[in-house]
């Protein structure tokens, strides 16, 4: 088992420095342009693929880092560059984790490579769980998957929303209801292969921040996928449903569903994204405070400014520690008995929201303009308290874990 240490090993430091260089030289200079264009930055993803930043191999290496720090370190550096572009680069990872968490070895080997494509023909993937009437309340999901025994096919119907890369993805991972009686325990995840008829993009959202990342509705009308596209396979699904029915009869012990397994695994990673954005804004603010003069001295000479910077940095470091703890626990098989994954996401996302707002304050009028990046960083940071479970839902998860009470 990997010993816990705050010291990155030489390999990790090398990867971190390499990613930082890519974030500084390629992502950051492109950030303002793609934010304004509100389009997927395909040339940047392509460049990331050419150097290996956007590749299955790279993510697998980080994902299976025995210390657990590979993914949070990568997220922090890329999102330090720019959140919208970085999400375009790592958004495929959420779908990949959905397959890793629930798929068979064969499904993992078949579908994850197709999510990334090749450096010559780059592809992205989408994970589609949220629906117009089922955001935080996952159990209200309506998208149905019905098995057609005669053809060994599943037929999917419904509307997904807020899907990162939805409609432009090569591979879509779709969560759907297979047994409506069981609420969220009756869900299963499906692969929708490239070019499957019946899947189309609905509205593309115009957003407050992370505007370089594509977010859209995904409409599923009579989408037929082979039986082999059920993640985990039929046998495992039948066993899981039988267990859930038994538990429901015995008094409703909670069973984790497929989408929740994906979200739990990815929450510390979202915390790390937030740390990256917060650190970026803090650095701009620190630099500005040491150079901007008012009353004949740098504004950092005032405790009112310097103390804000001290608080910002303290919260960023505290957030990183929570993220690293949760990531290390996950990698070393320690259960999140106190919802440590949710704690890390909750704290880091709120830190990013507040730190980026403080950065605007420190830059004064300049901070409020698009001449400086902190305005964009603050808009971007607003997403972290919303996606992959809002702050309120994280508090609910933590409070339930601590108390054992089904708090509403």
Ligand X SMILES: Cc1cc2nc3c(=O)[nH]c(=O)nc-3n(C[C@H](O)[C@H](O)[C@H](O)COP(=O)(O)OP(=O)(O)OC[C@H]3O[C@@H](n4cnc5c(N)ncnc54)[C@H](O)[C@@H]3O)c2cc1C
The structure tokens listed for 328 are 């290390």
163 versus 300: smaller Cβ distance to ligand X = 163
CB-side neighbour CA atoms (13 Å) of 244: 22
> Strand, coil or helix: what is 203?
strand
- Which stretch, 22-30, 114-122, 188-196, 389-397, contacts ligand X (CB under 6 A)? 389-397
* Residue 394 near ligand X by CB under 6 A: no
Using CA atoms, how far apart are residues 31 and 50, in angstroms rounded to an integer? Answer: 19
Question: Binding mask 203-222 vs ligand X (x if CB under 6 A, - otherwise)?
Answer: ----x--x----x-------
Q: Which of residues 43-82 bind ligand X (CB under 6 A)?
A: none
CA distance 362 to 365: 9
Tell me the CB-side half-sphere exposure of residue 258, using CA atoms within 13 A.
Answer: 31
Kindly tell me which of 267 and 279 has the beta carbon lying closer to ligand X: 267
Annotated active-site residue 235? The verdict is no
> Quick check: 197 and 223 in contact, CB under 8 A?
yes
Quick check: 396 binds ligand X (CB under 6 A)?
A: yes
Q: Does 387 bind ligand X (CB under 6 A)?
A: yes
Which window, 12-20, 158-166, 275-283, 284-292, contacts ligand X (CB under 6 A)? 158-166
Whose tokens are 């397994």? That residue is 261
| Residue that has been written with the tokens 């880091």 in this structure | 348
Q: Other C-beta atoms within 10 Å of 36: how many?
A: 12
Q: Please pick, from the candidates 59, 127, 336, 347, the single residue that binds ligand X as defined by CB under 6 A.
A: 127
- Is 190 among the residues that bind ligand X (CB under 6 A)? no
Whole-number minimum distance, CB 365 to ligand X, in Å? 29
Among 54, 80, 154, 162, binds ligand X (CB under 6 A): 162
Task: Name the minimum Å distance from CB 163 to ligand X.
Answer: 5
Name the packing angle between helices 258-291 and 374-381 (round to 10°): 160
Closest residue (Cβ) to ligand X?
Answer: 135
Q: Annotated catalytic residue: which of 293, 350, 388, 392?
A: 388
Backbone φ, ψ for residue 51 (5° rounding): -90, -5
Query: To the nearest whole angstrom, how small is the minimum distance from the Cβ of residue 109 to ligand X?
Result: 23
What is the smallest separation between the CB atom of 286 and ligand X, expressed in angstroms? 29
Provide DSSP, 59-119. Answer: HHHHHT-TTS-HHHHHHHHHHHH-HHHHHHHHHHHHHHHHHHHH--HHHHHHHHHHHHEET
- H helices of 205-339, in order, are 233-250, 258-291, 303-331
Question: Closer to ligand X at the Cβ: 169 or 299?
Answer: 169
Selected from 74, 163, 244, 260, the binder of ligand X by CB under 6 A is 163
Total residues at the site for ligand X (CB under 6 A)? 22
Instruction: Give me the helix-helix angle, 83-102 and 258-291, nearest 10°.
Output: 160
Closest by alpha carbon to 68, among 244, 268, 260? 268
Structure tokens at 124: 């992205």
> In this chain, which stretch among 65-73, 116-124, 236-244, 386-394 interacts with ligand X, using CB under 6 A?
386-394
Binder among 113, 119, 135, 194 for ligand X (CB under 6 A): 135
Residue 392 touching ligand X (CB under 6 A): yes
34 contacts ligand X (rule: CB under 6 A): no
- Distance in Å, CB of 144 to ligand X, minimum: 17
Tracing tokens 């299963």 back to the chain, one arrives at 188
Positions touching ligand X (CB under 6 A) are 94, 127-130, 135-136, 162-164, 207, 210, 215, 383, 386-390, 392-393, 396
Q: Active-site positions? A: 388
């Amino acid at each position: 088992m990997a010993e816990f240490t705050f010291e990155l090993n030489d390999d990790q430091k090398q990867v971190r420095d390499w990613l930082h260089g890519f974030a500084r030289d390629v992502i950051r200079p492109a950030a303002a342009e793609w934010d304004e264009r509100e389009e997927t930055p395909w040339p940047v993803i392509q460049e990331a693929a050419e150097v290996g930043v956007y590749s299955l191999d790279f993510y697998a290496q980080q994902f299976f880092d025995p210390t657990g720090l590979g993914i949070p370190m990568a997220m922090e550096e890329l999102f330090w560059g720019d959140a919208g572009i970085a999400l375009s680069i790592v958004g495929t990872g959420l779908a990949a984790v959905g397959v890793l968490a629930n798929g068979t070895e064969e499904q993992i080997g078949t579908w994850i490579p197709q999510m990334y494509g090749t450096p010559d023909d780059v592809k992205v993937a989408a994970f589609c769980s949220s629906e117009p009437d089922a955001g935080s309340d996952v159990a209200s999901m309506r998208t149905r998957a019905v098995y057609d025994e005669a053809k060994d096919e599943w037929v999917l119907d419904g509307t997904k929303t807020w899907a990162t890369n939805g409609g432009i993805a090569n591979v879509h991972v779709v969560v759907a209801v297979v047994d409506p009686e069981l609420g969220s325990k009756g869900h299963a995840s499906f692969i929708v292969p490239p070019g499957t008829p019946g899947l189309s993009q609905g509205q593309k959202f115009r957003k407050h921040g992370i505007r370089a990342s594509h977010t859209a509705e995904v409409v599923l009308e009579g989408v037929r996928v082979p039986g082999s596209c059920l993640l985990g396979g039929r046998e495992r699904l039948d066993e899981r449903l039988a267990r859930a029915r038994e538990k429901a009869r015995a008094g409703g012990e909670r069973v984790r569903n497929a989408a929740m397994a994906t979200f739990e695994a990815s929450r510390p990673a979202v915390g790390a994204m937030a740390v990256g954005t917060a650190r970026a804004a803090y650095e701009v603010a620190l630099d500005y405070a040491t150079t901007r003069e008012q009353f004949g001295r740098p504004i950092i000479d005032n405790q009112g400014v310097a103390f804000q910077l001290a608080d910002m940095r303290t919260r960023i470091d505290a957030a990183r520690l929570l993220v690293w703890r949760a990531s290390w626990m996950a990698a070393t098989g320690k259960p999140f008995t106190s919802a440590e994954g949710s704690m890390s996401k909750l704290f880091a996302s709120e830190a990013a929201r507040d730190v980026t707002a403080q950065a605007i304050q420190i830059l004064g009028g300049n901070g409020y303009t698009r001449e400086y990046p902190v305005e964009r960083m603050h808009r971007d940071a607003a997403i972290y308290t919303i996606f992959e479970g809002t702050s309120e839902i994280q508090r609910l998860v933590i409070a339930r874990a601590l108390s054992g009470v089904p708090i509403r």
